[in-house]
Chains A and B, each alone.
Chain A
Amino acid sequence: MSLLADVLTVLLNGLQQGAIFALLAVGLSIILGTLKFVNFAHGALYVVGTYTGLLVAHEIALTSGKLQSWGFTSLGLDLGFFAALVVVPLFVFVVGLGMERFVARPFYDRPDTDQILVTFGLAIVVQELFRILFGSNSLPFDQPAWAAGPIALPVVGNFSQWRLYVIAITAVLVLVVYALVEYTDFGLVVRAGTRDAEMVRLLGIKITRPYIVVFGIGAALAGVAGVVGGPLNVVNPTVGTDILVPAFLTVVIGGVGSIVGAVIGGVIFGLTTATLVAVAPAWSQIGLYAIAAVILLTRPQGILGNEEVAP
């Protein structure tokens, strides 16, 4: 193993972790930037995505929870991973629209802190529903057969195939969303909303309300993160609360409303974590928070944020 190979492995691991952060952060960021809605339940959307993905892709044996006590010893459609990759974003998109309509909308005109509180409460409710239905135990989420195991890369040597797929899938999805926002009429309004908060305030929030689609897209991305991240993370009810904090930090250091910023933030976090895991594992979780603190204190609006958006 050469040093170069080690460095490249760390780099790829970092990119893969950054990809998951970015998937979550892009959605969170456009929702916050456009609709000015703070969604502490974004992690819950990840949970919905990861459980739905698991049940679509595989059939799993249940060992605890209400579903098992109601007689379901195993559950799932076993349709394979591609099916999950199609079904989950659509499903979570709809969930996101519902969330916008029934939770976010009544809170647009209320203070930020109320938005945080109600979505935090919602996150707990979702977490507990999953705990009651599926039990507290982590469920196994197998990698798809076609992507399981290592692949031999030049210089790097053996590397997990699935991690490469995660990077690729994320890259494609983020590019699609970026193109949507950057080159369509729909995107024009999204950009207007994020870049010129003052203007939108003058026009009134009603202008942006028809674009609740943003909420759906953000939710769908969180759902996809749940699917592709499922085989790498654990699948249990609390994974949403665990992942929420890094996701929020990614948004804030990247700059609220900026897709590119969210990706950069994700990659910075991913690389930091992967490097520390390789060099000083005990500190691996701390680097992320330390970097976030430093960036926020030196550049409060985030790396690509503009001054006006940040209060």
Chain B
Amino acid sequence: MSDETQDATAQGAAPSEGVAEKEGFAGYELDTAREPVVVGATALFVLVFPYVFARMPVVSGILQGYQGLATLMLIWGIFALGFDLLLGYTGLLSFGHAAFWGGSAYAAGVFSQFAAESLGFEAGPVIIVVVGTLFAVLLAWGLGFLSLRRGGIYFSILTLAFAQMMFYLSSAPLSGITGGENGFTAVTVGHLFGVFELESELPSVLGTLMGTWLYAFVGLMTVVSVAVAYRILNSPYGMVFRAIRENEQRTEFVGLNVWRYKLMSFVISGAFAGVAGSLFTIHGNYVPLQSLYWTESGEIVIMAVLGGAGSLFGPMLGAGIYLYFENIVSGVRDLTVPFTDIVLLQGFGEYWHLLLGVLFVLVVWFFPRGIWGLFQDLRNRVTGGDSAAETGGER
């Protein structure tokens, strides 16, 4: 990647192998082997998820899933994945990530309109994602530069304040561009690679498994996002982020520029939010004003913590659970004893948000490693322990 890397490789390659054997550093070979496994498993999941969730006999009937929700879950999953780099690994709690999610969603939408009306072409999904993400990165750089002057709760409050400022900016002064309270409706998305209509069905077995081209595109972005995130966690950045979370002062005093690493963590998480926000616009053909409100920042916090901050897949699981409650559980009319007609609770769906709130409080209180952490503990109990070697790279 950089000259330094090559230097290090050139100088260190031969002797360091010796070191690894002689001195007993075993971990890295495992790391290397694990990367394709993680990416491959993600790809496999993405491939079969819509089928299982929305179309598979019996299972989809129980889950009540549908294609559009599967897509939305992956989009929020990308957002949560990036947010976790900041919260779970660097230990910074931002309450302003709606700015990057909603901001990139607007940027993507406005760009698509500009392309269609002024440049005379329908912007394809790839370029829309690029533009939305670039916007989020620049915004994150600016807001991060300002917010990171303060630590702890003040950082949380500053991010919150700046994001709210974005919300009110697009609600009134910029309503000529953003559509104000009504949200942005003039989204025009062209075909994928200029060829494939996003809403059309994929050919043959892919169509059965994944459904539409839109899902395939979002799925591909998900796999890429997981691969990039996993690589970041196994890069020097991953080490430095965790070091900052563990002991910020010590990190500074070994000679690392903590401030710049924090800023990078903020910008990288903003970039993931940018990818997700742009995909959200492409998926819904619409940008609600709500996407910038601070409760949206709160949702991503809940998803990440509920699923398990500080793990690779936990926050994505959290996103799935949250959206499942919001879209499926909320529609359940009465809670019945399974396979009978005995009603336990009428109007059960109304309680979805309350249930999530209670679940969230319980997780914060008793299981700081989230639902994913619970799974890991369970697995350790069953297999009799040592998952450290398996999860070492992204512990």
Q: Report which A residues bind B (CB closer than 8 A).
A: 38, 66, 69, 106, 112-114, 116-118, 120-122, 124-125, 127-129, 131-132, 241, 245, 248-249, 252, 281-286, 289-290, 292-293, 296-297, 300, 310-311
Out of B151, B161, B305, B365, name the residue touching A292 (CB < 8 Å): B161
Docked complex Cα distance between A311 and B368 (Å): 24
Contact A116 B93 (CB under 8 A): yes
Contact A289 B154 (CB under 8 A): no
CB distance from A47 to the nearest CB of B (A): 14
Contact A300 B354 (CB under 8 A): no
B60 part of interface (Cβ distance < 8 Å): no
Out of B168, B172, B356, B365, name the residue touching A118 (CB < 8 Å): B365
Contact B305 A286 (CB under 8 A): no
CB distance from B303 to the nearest CB of A (A): 12
Docked complex Cα distance between A292 and B358 (Å): 32
Contact B364 A286 (CB under 8 A): no
Docked complex Cα distance between A125 and B95 (Å): 18
B164 part of interface (Cβ distance < 8 Å): yes
A282, closest chain B residue (CB): B172
How big is the B interface, by class? 35 or more
Contact B301 A293 (CB under 8 A): no
**Which B residues touch A124, using CB under 8 A?**
298, 302, 353-354, 356-357, 360
B48 part of interface (Cβ distance < 8 Å): no
CB distance from B139 to the nearest CB of A (A): 14
Docked complex Cα distance between A106 and B102 (Å): 35
Contact B154 A296 (CB under 8 A): yes
**What 0/1 readout, one digit per residue, does chain B (219-257) give for beta carbons within 8 Å of chain A?**
000000000000000000000000000000000000000
Docked complex Cα distance between A207 and B133 (Å): 50
Contact A297 B149 (CB under 8 A): yes
B218 part of interface (Cβ distance < 8 Å): no
Contact B93 A241 (CB under 8 A): no
- Knowing A117-B301, A129-B354, A285-B172 are in contact, say whether A249-B161 is a contact too (CB < 8 A): yes
Contact A282 B146 (CB under 8 A): no
A252, closest chain B residue (CB): B157
Contact A132 B295 (CB under 8 A): no
Contact B361 A286 (CB under 8 A): no
- Knowing A114-B368, A125-B358 are in contact, say whether A120-B301 is a contact too (CB < 8 A): yes
Interface residues in B129-157 by Cβ distance below 8 A to A read 146, 149-154, 156-157
Out of A69, A125, A241, A311, name the residue touching B152 (CB < 8 Å): A311
Out of B154, B353, B364, name the residue touching A310 (CB < 8 Å): B154
- Knowing A117-B305, A120-B298, A297-B149 are in contact, say whether A125-B161 is a contact too (CB < 8 A): no
